[in-house]
Structure 1
Amino acid sequence: MNGLDGYMQVNLKARHLRLLVTIDTYRNLTQVAEVTHVTMPAVSKSLAELERGLGLTLFTRTAQGLVPTPHGECLIRHAREMLTILHQARDEMKALSSGTEGKVHIGMLPASASALLPLALNLLKMRSPGTNVRVVEGTRGALLPELWQGRLDLIVGRLPAPDTLGSFDEKALLEEPVTLMTGRQHPLARRKNVDWSDLHPYPWILPPQGSILRDSLERTLRAHDVPLTNNYIETLSVHVTRAHLQISDSIAVMVGTPANDAEQPLHALPLTLPRLLRPSGVLWNRNRGLTPSAQLMVSCLEEAAQQLQSGTT
């Protein structure tokens, strides 16, 4: 066993991992000493001992502060992951000791799990009141790294393209129709028959440029010779979309069955769209597996999807 193997297997401690992450965060030993409540010579000594034990230089000193070397970047990345795992183990053991069943960390994609996730959370709380949940809403680009690093257990929402999944497993849960919507006062809402050419004069509420739904919609409109005007609003907010349709002659593309709302009733245009999106579902990191609490959450998501599909909610 060489020096690096021996040190990593026997001498590397959680305090070393915390030190590496803290130095990487602040890049200044004085600040590291302040936040860890030890002296700067003690921080410097700990880093020197770690580098000596590994036989590697982990940071270089520059005018801008401490900068990780390639070896340092590698170890810091794994240190963050290992600390996350230790924190999760701590939380699970504390939950067991206190009589609760655990905690699930969920990422929610905006505008794509607004009905599914709340229903699943209600089912979870009915089955296991002691299982607690933290929900974070964000974009796919922001949430996937969190899932990869273990800071999230699950992501719920529109499933990404299969070729982007990498180390993630998925479960499809809910097929939702994509519909062209207007307010009830819209001129087209009073017509029994609507052709694609009738859409030409009206403004739009669109998903942001580059989103899956936006690209698919634009292809469909081009196929029907419907140009998108320069008069549009871009948003993923269902609330903004609904409110603006009530007071304008805009047309919006919406997912699910959003017409039946007592407070903000909408009108679905009788135009058939192809399947523009993959189903809503749940993602997890196959390399980490699922905790019992996360498994229960997946089960509740499956039941919630079945209820939504059958209309029994």
Structure 2
Amino acid sequence: MSQIDSYLQVTLKARQLRLLVALDDFGHLKEVAEITHVTVPAVSKALAELERGLGLELFVRTTQGLRPTPHGECLIRHARQMLVSLHQARAELKALSSPSEDKINVGVFPASVTALLPKALALLKQREPRVNVLVTEGMMATLMPELRQGKLDMIVGRLPARDGQDTIAEQELLEEPVSLLVRPAHPLAGRKKLKWADLKPYPWVLPPVGALLRDPLERILESHDIRPKDYIETSSTTLARAYLHASDGIGAMAGAVARDPAEPLARLPLALPQLIRGSGVFWDKRRALTPAARLMIACLEEAAAGLRPHYA
């Protein structure tokens, strides 16, 4: 038996498969250490043990981070498939053990927490109270790896840019144009006409680097010679809205986040192109959706249909 045969058949563990996938998704030891709640030396040691056990180099270090070798790419591809199979086996075993209950794991972006998902969850519980849902809020960088690893059944929120990956299935649910918002008593509020230059004296609320809206928003601002130097960054829509109400800041928001009747914000009369795609739900089509997950998607569709008239 060769060294590779021996290691794969006897020694390889599921946690090492998850390590490989995480290293491929994040590309940096520090980020993998943070997401797995261990130290950087522990991640480095685990990778070294795996490479030593196989007798293969799986990653090379570059100035941009870790890059998988051909051997690494091969093992990562199979690791993803094995983790999906393990997730499916776990779900089926739990369903057989507790046939009266079912559970789905849903990731959600912060902006979809306020309207779309709560309405869909209420519909789900009306139709099938025995289906339980674990909701994990996060950003694309943290939720997408969990979807690929089979830890999430689906993600609800702003659809990411299409990048040619044919493993992700999606369904658009709401078109939500982006608006520039300020507090009702803001010096610019209520004006019927504005020039982009009128925005220059004011602070901004920006989505964090890596958020779907950040790059397209910065590009449109730069095209109008606006380069914010006085700003805060946050992924929290609650904080962003509160800051706008407490300051002369300007923020860019969409959908239900921009339309809160309890604490309304004023919309500035400046036209924006379509900066990002609409909101929806997406999942890994390599893994079959359970009946509960399909019901969740149907409830999301119904909830979105009820919200569309308010977004027109």
> 1:82 offset after TM fit, Å?
3.5
2:284 and 2:211 map into 1 onto residues whose CA distance is 23
1:178 and 1:238 map into 2 onto residues whose CA distance is 14
The answer to whether residue 95 in structure 2 is matched with residue 92 in structure 1 is yes
> What is the SS of the residue equivalent to 2:150?
coil
Q: Which residue of 2 aligns with 1:286?
A: 285
Per-residue CA distance 1:233-260 (angstroms, 9 max, x = gap): 1112111111111111000001115454
Q: Which residue of 2 aligns with 1:110?
A: 110
1:80 and 1:25 map into 2 onto residues whose CA distance is 8
- Name which of structure 1's ranges 174-183 and 108-117 shifts more when overlaid on structure 2: 108-117
Q: Which amino acid aligns with 1:85?
A: Q
Q: Which residue of 1 aligns with 2:120?
A: 120
Report the CA distance shift for 1:71/1:87 in structure 2 as closer, same or farther (over 3 A): farther
Q: Which ranges in structure 1 are unaligned for 5 or more consecutive residues?
A: 27-61
Q: Is the Cα contact below 8 Å between 2:139 and 2:211 reproduced in 1?
A: no
Report the CA distance shift for 1:297/1:247 in structure 2 as closer, same or farther (over 3 A): same
Q: Which amino acid aligns with 1:283?
A: F
Aligned length: 262
> 1:83 offset after TM fit, Å?
2.9
Q: Which residue of 2 aligns with 1:83?
A: 86
- Name which of structure 1's ranges 238-247 and 67-76 shifts more when overlaid on structure 2: 67-76
**Mapping for residues 229-240 of structure 1, pairs under 5 Å:** 229-240=228-239
Q: Which amino acid aligns with 2:109?
A: L
2:158 and 2:259 map into 1 onto residues whose CA distance is 22
Report the CA distance shift for 1:128/1:187 in structure 2 as closer, same or farther (over 3 A): same
Per-residue CA distance 1:250-300 (angstroms, 9 max, x = gap): 000011154543442211111111111101111111111211000000100
Q: Which amino acid aligns with 1:182?
A: V
Q: Which residue of 2 aligns with 1:44?
A: none
1:280 and 1:152 map into 2 onto residues whose CA distance is 18
2:218 and 2:144 map into 1 onto residues whose CA distance is 26
Report the CA distance shift for 1:113/1:175 in structure 2 as closer, same or farther (over 3 A): farther
Q: Which amino acid aligns with 2:14?
A: V
Aligned Cα root-mean-square deviation (Å): 3.2
> 1:162 offset after TM fit, Å?
1.3
Q: Which residue of 2 aligns with 1:266?
A: 265
Q: Which ranges in structure 2 are unaligned for 5 or more consecutive residues?
A: 20-44, 59-71
TM-score of the two chains, using structure 1 as the length reference: 0.74
**Mapping for residues 36-55 of structure 1, pairs under 5 Å:** none
> 1:232 offset after TM fit, Å?
0.6
Identical counterparts, % of pairs: 44
Q: Which residue of 2 aligns with 1:254?
A: 253
1:305 and 1:229 map into 2 onto residues whose CA distance is 34
Q: Is the Cα contact below 8 Å between 2:114 and 2:257 reproduced in 1?
A: no
Q: Which residue of 2 aligns with 1:187?
A: 187
Q: Which residue of 1 aligns with 2:295?
A: 296
Q: Is the Cα contact below 8 Å between 2:207 and 2:235 reproduced in 1?
A: yes
1:150 and 1:25 map into 2 onto residues whose CA distance is 11
**Mapping for residues 82-231 of structure 1, pairs under 5 Å:** 82-96=85-99, 99-100=100-101, 102-223=102-223, 225-231=224-230
Per-residue CA distance 1:54-84 (angstroms, 9 max, x = gap): xxxxxxxx99984352599849936544432
Report the CA distance shift for 1:257/1:299 in structure 2 as closer, same or farther (over 3 A): closer
> 1:190 offset after TM fit, Å?
4.0
Which residue among 21, 37, 40 is the counterpart of 2:14?
A: 21
Per-residue CA distance 1:101-149 (angstroms, 9 max, x = gap): x111111122245311111111100111011111111221222222122
Q: Which residue of 2 aligns with 1:40?
A: none
2:14 and 2:232 map into 1 onto residues whose CA distance is 42
1:302 and 1:23 map into 2 onto residues whose CA distance is 38
Q: Which amino acid aligns with 2:237?
A: V
Q: Which amino acid aligns with 1:93?
A: L
Q: Which residue of 2 aligns with 1:41?
A: none
Q: Is the Cα contact below 8 Å between 2:189 and 2:266 reproduced in 1?
A: yes
Per-residue CA distance 1:164-203 (angstroms, 9 max, x = gap): 5331111111101200000112111143332222111111
TM-score of the two chains, using structure 2 as the length reference: 0.74
2:196 and 2:282 map into 1 onto residues whose CA distance is 36
Per-residue CA distance 1:3-44 (angstroms, 9 max, x = gap): 99xx9xxxx7xxx79x72368899xxxxxxxxxxxxxxxxxx
